[in-house]
Structure 1
Amino acid sequence: MQYLIRFTQLHETFRLAEVKALAVLAGVDLKIISYSNESPFCLVEFPSDDAARAVIERSILAHSIYEHWGTAETLDDLHITIKRDTAHLWPLYVEPSFKLSIDSYRGSRSQKQKVALINSFSYLPFKGPILLSSPDNEFTLFEKWALEPVPEKKLSSPLEVHFGRLIAHSARDLISTFDLKKRDYISTTSMDSELALVTANIALAGPGKLFYDPFVGTGSFPVACAQFGSIVWGSDIDGRSMRGAGGKKSLLGNFRQYGLEKSLGGVFVSDLTNTPVRRARILDGILCDPPYGVREGLKVLGCRDPEKDVRSIERGKLMYRDPAFIPPKKPYSFLAMLDDILNFATDMLVDNGRLSFWMPTANDEDQEIAVPTHPCLEVVVVCTQVFNKWSRRLITYRRLPDSDVDLSALALRKKQEDEASGRSADDLNPFRRHYFRGFKSEQELLDTATLETNQLQI
Structure 2
Amino acid sequence: MPQYLILLAQTHESFRKTELEALARLEHVQVDLSGHDEVTPLLFVTLQNEDEARRLIRRAILVRAIYEVWGYGESQEAMHEDVRRRAREVWPKYKDVSFKFDVISFQGSRTKEEQRELIETFDYLNFDGLIRMRNPEEIFTVIEEYRRKEYIDAPRVLTKACFGRFIGGSQRDIIDSYDLKKRRYIGTTSFDAELALISSNIGLVAPGKIVYDPFAGTGSFMVAASHFGGMALGSDIDGRQMRGRRKHSILSNYTQYRLHSNFLDTFVGDFTHNPIRPNFFLDAIICDPPYGVREGLKVLGSKDTERYADKQPTRLENGDMSHLRPDYIPPKKPYHFDKLLDDLLYFAARHLVDDGRLCCWIPTSNEEFGERDIPSHPELELLSTCVQEFNKWSRRLVTYSRKPRSLSSSTVIEKSSREYSEQFRDKYFRGFAKAKDVLGASGLK
Distance 1:265 1:117, change over 3 A: same
- Cα distance, 1:403 vs. partner? 2.4
Q: Does 1:165 align with 2:160?
A: no
Contact 1:281–1:350, Cα closer than 8 Å, also in 2: no
Deviation for aligned residue 1:281: 5.1
3-state SS of the aligned residue for 2:117? helix
Does the aligned pair in 2 maintain the 1:335–1:429 contact within 8 Å?
Answer: no
Name the structure 2 match of 1:40: 41
CA distance, structure 2, for counterparts of residue 10 and residue 196 of structure 1: 15
CA distance in 2, matches of 1:48, 1:281: 40
Q: Work out which of the residue numbers 326, 329, 333 in structure 2 matches 1:326.
A: 329
Query: What are the Cα deviations for residues 285-320 of structure 1, in whole angstroms up to 9, with x where unaligned?
Result: 001001001121111111111133264240453332
Matches within 5 A, 1:115-264: 115-146=116-147, 153-155=154-156, 157-247=157-247, 249-264=248-263
| Match 1:386 to one of 375, 384, 389 | 389
Of 423, 427, 430, the residue aligned with 1:434 is: 427
Code of the aligned partner of 2:271: L
1:29 matched to 2:30? The reply is: yes
Q: For residues 177-210 of structure 1, what are the alpha-carbon distances to aligned partners after superposition, in whole Å with 9 as ceiling and x for unaligned?
A: 1110011110111011111111111101111111
- Show CA shifts across 1:402-426 (max 9, x none): 122256xx67x54766797xxxxxx
From the superposition, tell whether residues 23 and 152 of structure 1 become closer, same or farther in structure 2 (CA, over 3 Å): closer
Q: Deviations over 1:213-238 (max 9, x none)?
A: 00000000010111111111100000
* Residue in 2 that maps onto 1:456: none
1:233-281 Cα offsets, whole Å, 9 max, x none, are: 100000000011152x111111111111221110000111111111225
Q: Secondary structure at the match of 2:115?
A: helix
Partners of 1:314 and 1:205 lie apart in 2 by: 47
Deviations along 1:96-127, whole A, 9 cap, x unmatched? 11111111111111222111211111111311
Q: Secondary structure at the match of 2:5?
A: strand
Aligned to 2:272: 273
CA distance in structure 2 between the partners assigned to 1:440 and 1:363 by the alignment: 11
Q: Which amino acid aligns with 1:171?
A: Q
Q: Is the partner of 1:356 in helix, strand or coil?
A: strand
**Mapped partners of 1:220, 1:101: distance in 2:** 36
For 1:312 and 1:284, how far apart are their aligned partners in 2?
39
Match of 2:307 in 1: 308
Q: Quick check: 2:70–2:83 contact (8 Å CA) kept in 1?
A: yes
Q: What's the CA shift string for 1:365-418, capped at 9, x where partnerless?
A: 3678621111111111111000000000001111110122256xx67x547667
Q: Which of the two has greater helix per residue?
A: 1
Within 2, Cα distance between the matches of 1:386 and 1:337?
A: 23
Instruction: Tell whether the 8 Å contact from 1:33 to 1:43 is kept in structure 2 after alignment.
Output: no
Distance in 2 separating the partners of 1:91 and 1:400: 51
CA distance in 2, matches of 1:414, 1:134: 57
Aligned to 1:199, the other structure's residue is in SS state helix
Q: Secondary structure at the match of 2:306?
A: helix
Q: What secondary structure does 2:398 align onto?
A: strand
Task: Work out whether residues 342 and 416 of structure 2, in 8 Å CA contact, stay in contact via their aligned partners in 1.
Answer: no
- Is the CA contact (8 Å cut-off) linking 1:362 and 1:369 kept in structure 2? no
SS at match of 1:31: coil
Which secondary structure does the structure 2 equivalent of 1:42 belong to?
Answer: strand
Higher alpha-carbon deviation: 59-68 or 157-166: 157-166
Counterparts of 2:178 and 2:270, CA distance in 1: 27
User: For this pair of structures, how many residues does the alignment match?
Assistant: 440
Code of the residue aligned with 2:375 in structure 1: it is P
Aligned-partner Cα distance in 1 for 2:126–2:147: 33
Corresponding letter in the other structure for 2:273: N
**Contact 2:376–2:416, Cα closer than 8 Å, also in 1:** no
The corresponding residue for 1:298 is 297
Bigger CA drift: 70-79 or 146-155? Answer: 146-155
Normalising to structure 1: TM-score of the pair? 0.91
Whichever residue aligns with residue 423 of structure 2, its letter is: P
Q: Amino acid of the residue matched to residue 15 of structure 2?
A: F
Q: Percent identity?
A: 45
Assess, with a 3 A threshold, how the Cα gap between structure 1 residues 82 and 304 changes in structure 2: closer, same or farther: same
2-structure distance, mates of 1:414, 1:207: 31
* Partner Cα separation in structure 2 for residue 185 and residue 46 of structure 1: 42
Q: What is the one-letter code of the residue matched to 2:364?
A: T
Letter in 2 for 1:362: S
Q: What is the CA deviation profile of residues 320-353 of structure 1, one whole-angstrom value per residue up to 9, with x for unaligned ones? A: 2111111111111111100000001111110111
C-alpha distance in structure 1 between counterparts of 2:222 and 2:149, whole Å: 40
Q: Residues 147, 328 of structure 1: CA spacing in aligned structure 2 closer, same or farther, 3 A cutoff?
A: farther
Take 2:98 and 2:28, find their aligned partners in 1: how far apart are those partners? Answer: 33
C-alpha contact (below 8 Å) 1:78/1:162 kept by paired residues: yes
Aligned CA distance change for structure 1 residues 264 and 149 (closer, same or farther; 3 Å)? farther
Q: CA distance change for structure 1 residues 232 and 415 in 2, over 3 Å: closer, same or farther?
A: closer
Distance 2:119 2:382 in 1: 46
Contact 1:336 1:418 in 2 (8 A): no
Secondary structure, counterpart of 2:261 in structure 1? helix
TM-score by length of 2: 0.93
8 A contact 1:101–1:139 mirrored in 2: yes
Letter in 1 for 2:426: R
What is the Cα deviation at residue 71 of structure 1?
A: 2.3
> Equivalent residues in 2 for 1:326-345 (5 A)?
326-345=329-348
Question: 1:359, 1:4 → 2: CA distance?
Answer: 33
Distance 1:151 1:20, change over 3 A: closer
1:353 to 353, 356, 377: 356
Q: Which moved more, 1:39-48 or 1:296-305?
A: 39-48
Quick check: 1:376 aligned with 2:391? no
Contact 1:361 1:369 (C-alpha < 8 Å) held by counterparts: no
Q: Which amino acid aligns with 1:199?
A: S
Alpha carbons of structure 1 residues 214 and 15: separation in structure 2 relative to 1, 3 Å: same
- In structure 2, how many angstroms separate the alpha carbons of the residues matched to 1:390 and 1:4? 34
8 A contact 1:279–1:347 mirrored in 2: yes
Deviation string, structure 1 residues 16-53 (Cα, Å, up to 9, x no partner): 11111111111221222522101111111222211111
**Secondary structure class of the residue paired with 2:37:** coil
What is the rounded CA distance, in whole Å, between the counterparts of 1:266 and 1:153 in structure 2? 57
